[in-house]
Amino acid sequence: MNWLRFLHFITACYAVFLTLLLWLPNPKELFYGWQPSERTGGYSHLITFMLLGFLVELGRRKKSQLFWIVLLLLYAFLTEIVQEILPIRTFEWHDIIQDFCGLTVGLGFAVFCRFVAAKIKK
């Protein structure tokens, strides 16, 4: 298995895990009551979507970057809509803003890493 296929596998697993966290009525039950520490400062959406954006952009091949940006933004928005339907969960605008900012930072950092790697290769 080459590294790009492995990266796609890790990205798909992470996306499934993230969807599970976002759609469970009470995700704390998945971790036996554990929840993020106060050190994250309530930025768990920002951090998780930053990683998602980074992984997707790093593993991007045939589709354009705009395609993946639109797809990830739709994913972020749809997860919040589904949360409104679930018990205990709610639709939060600040979560969507964190999702979008996290995706932007993650995508940008992956583009930067790709640029640096290309410069090092030369």
pLDDT in tens, 92-105: 888 899 999 999 99
pTM exceeding the 0.75 threshold for the entire prediction: yes
- Give the burial class of 109: count Cβ atoms within 10 A of its Cβ; 0-12 exposed, 13-18 middle, 19 or more buried: middle
pLDDT of residue 97: 93
Q: What is the pLDDT of residue 60?
A: 82
CB 81 within 8 A of CB 97: no
Average pLDDT, the chain: 84
Predicted pLDDT of residue 1: 57
